Amino acid sequence: MNRVRWAAPALLAALLLLAAMFAGRAPVAAQSATPTPAAEEEAAAEGAAAADEAAAAEEPADASAAEVVATDAVTDTVTSAYVSLDLAAGFPLDPFLVSVNGGGSVDASQFGEGCTGFVNEAPTVSLNWEGETDFVEAFFYSASDPVMVVQTPAGDYLCSDDANEMLLDPVIEMAQPANGRYNIWVGSYTPEQLIPGLLVLTTRSEINLGTFDLASLVQRTPIPEDVLEPEEVAPRRAEIAAGRATAATMAEAAAVLSNEDIIDGVKQNVTAEGSVPAFELPADDVFCAGFIGEEPDFSFDLEAEGDRLRVYFEAQADSTLVVQLPDGTYLCNDDAVTGDNLNPLVEIPAPSSGRYNVFVGRLQLDEPITGELFVVESSTQMPADLDPSTEQE
């Protein structure tokens, strides 16, 4: 009886333990079962999103900035320049000058730090460079405040505003320039400003922005603003020849000057109102400026030879002077002292005997010029000063 009572509770406990074990294994089996289709789609979507995030993390933060740095991208997208040049090391036209207008509305700071001012979208000049040299210097010669940007073949940008505090023009030197294309922008410090000037390219160390002077490159006497058309020139030559022929027959009208006369000096009132271009005279190695008459304004016969003869004209407006010598050659002058005295002077060393024809010219055709003509034997006498700044218009 006691043994039965003990066995029953033991059997009941064993059954309860087995039930608990089977109940604990059921959740584990469910977790390790094959995923449902919905679960597979959700997992795939999460994986794709993670891949996109990883790819985005590898891209540059600013795609446009990357294009500016990339040489090929910049070179291919730059708009064609207004002027294209092909220069090689040792080019004979050194310095090379290009007349351009600087300015624009595009902010030059987009090229990089230190770039200021405003430029056009298209480069002002595109330079295709070839060969080896120590340097190429580019500067802009103007009377304003321009800026300059140069893009090298490598895609780098070089910028300049003022050469120094007193010199507002820009200058950029490219040491040992590589072969390839250089894009050059000439701009202005303020937007939409138009700055005319000269872009200068040089490999010569003695040519620089501070001392650059056009007058040292092109030396010539002033040329009249009113120039006749080509078809008018030939008839004018005939008029000059006719005038000389007329003067040759006017011996009675010519003054006869002795040594005493020229020592004391001879004065003659003259009005210049001719319209024949003096540069058409057959003067060897001499440029004759102004407009003269068909006939001489004053003729004289010199009786004897002297040491030195001076012919000059004094007036209140810019005039010119032409003297025909007895041998038929011409001497011409515009200003007695270039830049300081606009009155003309012709000096004749060791003058010979014979006929001298004197023409007084004017630079403008709108008004005649009246003044006094002097003939004197002297090596020092000068016409009265006619300062360019005080010339009467």
Task: Please name which of 306, 317, 291, 284 lies closest in space to residue 350, comparing C-alpha atoms.
Answer: 306
Q: Which of left, alpha, beta for 249 (phi over 0: left; psi -120 to 50: alpha)?
A: alpha
| Same domain flag for 199 and 256 | no
Beta strand 255-257 with 298-302: parallel, antiparallel or unpaired? parallel
Q: Which pLDDT belongs to residue 214? A: 83
Q: Is residue 14 part of a domain?
A: no
Question: For residue 351, what are the domain limits?
Answer: 230-390
CB atoms < 10 A from the CB of 321, how many?
30
Q: Write the CATH number for 381.
A: 2.60.120.380
The CA distances from residue 282 to 191, 237, 242, 275, 316, in Å, are: 52, 10, 14, 17, 29
SS3 392: coil
Q: Is residue 7 part of a domain?
A: no
Q: Is residue 351 part of a domain?
A: yes
| Same domain flag for 243 and 386 | yes
CB atoms < 10 A from the CB of 54, how many?
9
| Same domain flag for 257 and 380 | yes
Cα gap 187→189, rounded to integer Å: 7
State the alpha helices, DSSP H only, in the chain: 2-31, 37-58, 63-69, 71-77, 214-217, 230-248, 259-264
Written as six digits, the tokens of 284 are 């060897």
Task: Please name which of 194, 170, 163 lies closest in space to residue 184, comparing C-alpha atoms.
Answer: 170
Q: Total domain count for the chain?
A: 3
| Same domain flag for 236 and 375 | yes
Q: Which pLDDT belongs to residue 238? A: 46
| Same domain flag for 170 and 253 | no
Burial class of residue 370, CB neighbours in 10 A (0-12, 13-18, 19+): middle
Q: Is residue 142 part of a domain?
A: yes
Cα gap 73→279, rounded to integer Å: 56
Q: Which pLDDT belongs to residue 308? A: 86
Q: In the 3-class helix/strand/coil scheme, how is 152-167 assigned residue by residue?
A: CCCCCEEEECCCCCCC
| Same domain flag for 59 and 147 | no
| Same domain flag for 235 and 378 | yes
In the 8-state DSSP scheme, what is residue 310? E
SS3 272: strand
| Same domain flag for 239 and 372 | yes
pLDDT tens, residue order, the chain (393 aa): 444 444 444 444 444 444 444 444 333 333 333 344 444 454 454 554 444 444 333 333 332 222 333 333 344 456 788 999 999 999 989 999 999 999 999 999 999 888 999 999 999 999 999 999 999 999 999 999 999 999 999 999 999 999 988 899 999 999 999 999 999 999 999 999 999 999 999 999 999 999 898 877 776 666 555 544 444 444 444 455 544 444 444 444 466 766 666 677 888 999 999 998 888 787 666 778 899 998 999 998 887 666 788 999 999 999 999 999 998 889 999 999 988 899 999 999 888 888 999 999 998 888 899 999 999 888 899 999 998 876 544
| Same domain flag for 168 and 257 | no
Q: Confirm if 83 and 100 have CB atoms less than 8 A apart.
A: yes
Q: Which pLDDT belongs to residue 362? A: 93
Phi then psi for 18, rounded to 5 degrees?
-65, -40
Q: Which pLDDT belongs to residue 388? A: 82
Cα gap 290→321, rounded to integer Å: 8
Q: Is residue 88 part of a domain?
A: yes
Q: Is residue 319 part of a domain?
A: yes
Cα gap 39→100, rounded to integer Å: 71
| Same domain flag for 262 and 241 | yes
Phi then psi for 248, rounded to 5 degrees?
-70, -25
| Same domain flag for 49 and 114 | no
Q: Which pLDDT belongs to residue 223? A: 57
Q: Is residue 26 part of a domain?
A: no
Q: Which pLDDT belongs to residue 216? A: 76
The count of residues in the chain is: 393
Q: Is residue 185 part of a domain?
A: yes
- Sequence-distant (≥ 6) Cβ neighbours of residue 256 within 8 angstroms: 300, 301, 303
Among 217, 242, 275, identify where a domain stops.
Answer: 217
CA dihedral 371, 358, 244, 247 (to 10 degrees): 80
Cα gap 119→122, rounded to integer Å: 8
| Same domain flag for 167 and 250 | no
Angle at 169 between CA 104 and CA 79, to 5 degrees: 35
Q: Which pLDDT belongs to residue 220? A: 66
Whole-angstrom Cα Rg for the chain: 45
In the Cβ-directed half-sphere of 245, how many Cα atoms lie within 13 Å? 6
Q: Which pLDDT belongs to residue 254? A: 60
